[in-house]
Structure formats: C-alpha cells, structure tokens
Structure 1
Amino acid sequence: MTLGPYASFIVASYVAVATVVAALVIWVITDYRRQKARLRDLEAAGAVRRSGRSATDVK
C-alpha cells in the first residue's frame, strides 16, 4: 500500500490521534481510581450518601 507524498503527514496524524486517545483512557482510569479512593475515605469518615437514604429519612 502506497500512501504517496503525504505518507509522513498521514502516519503522524494517526500517531497523534492514538496518543491523545491513549492519554484520555489513562486519564479516565486514573480519575476513576482517585474518585473511588475519595469515596472510600469519605465513607470511612462517616459521610453518608444522599442516595443511600430512604424517602422517610428526608426532612
């Protein structure tokens, strides 16, 4: 397969897109882990989730 005179631009574009997508995936995974850890810390400190209360608990 020949990409012609624009081969370097095409390959560079694909590499750039792959790098950005990989960075976004890593960022989402890292943020998810941080949020889960923060939630564990809050629950250990005694914080209660609003969604964890029943309708009769609401004032």
Structure 2
Amino acid sequence: MNLGEHAGFIIGSYAVAVVVVILLFAWVALDFHAQRRILADLEGRGLTRRSQRTEEGNP
C-alpha cells in the first residue's frame, strides 16, 4: 500500500477521526449514566414519568 507523499496527512486525518468518535462515544456514555442517576433521584422523590401515570392515579 503506497499512500504517496501525503501519507502523514491521510494517517493523521484517520487518527483524528478515530479520536473524535471515541470521545463522542465516551460523552454519550457518561451523559447516559448521569441522566439515569437524575431519573433515579427524581423517582425516589416520588415523581413519575408521564407514561407511567394512570387516569385515576397521579395527575
């Protein structure tokens, strides 16, 4: 495989793209866990999701 004189640019571009994808994945995973903790805290305080409410239950 011969990348020519632009090999450094090509490899660098791929490296940056991989780092960005990894960072985005980590960001989403950390935010997911943070949102789950917030939701668990709210449910612990007695708040429920709208989808869990019944006609006779919570308004």
Give the TM-score normalised by structure 1: 0.89
- The count of residues paired between Structure 1 and Structure 2 equals 58
* Residue number in structure 2 paired with 1:9: 9
Instruction: Say which structure is richer in helix.
Output: 1
* Residue number in structure 2 paired with 1:40: 40
Q: CA RMSD in A?
A: 1.4
For 2:44 and 2:53, the matched residues in 1 are separated by: 17
How far apart are residue 22 of structure 1 and its match?
0.3
Unpaired segments ≥5 residues, structure 2: none
Q: Percent sequence identity over matched residues?
A: 41
Displacement over 6 Å in runs of 4+: none
Unpaired segments ≥5 residues, structure 1: none
Give the TM-score normalised by structure 2: 0.89
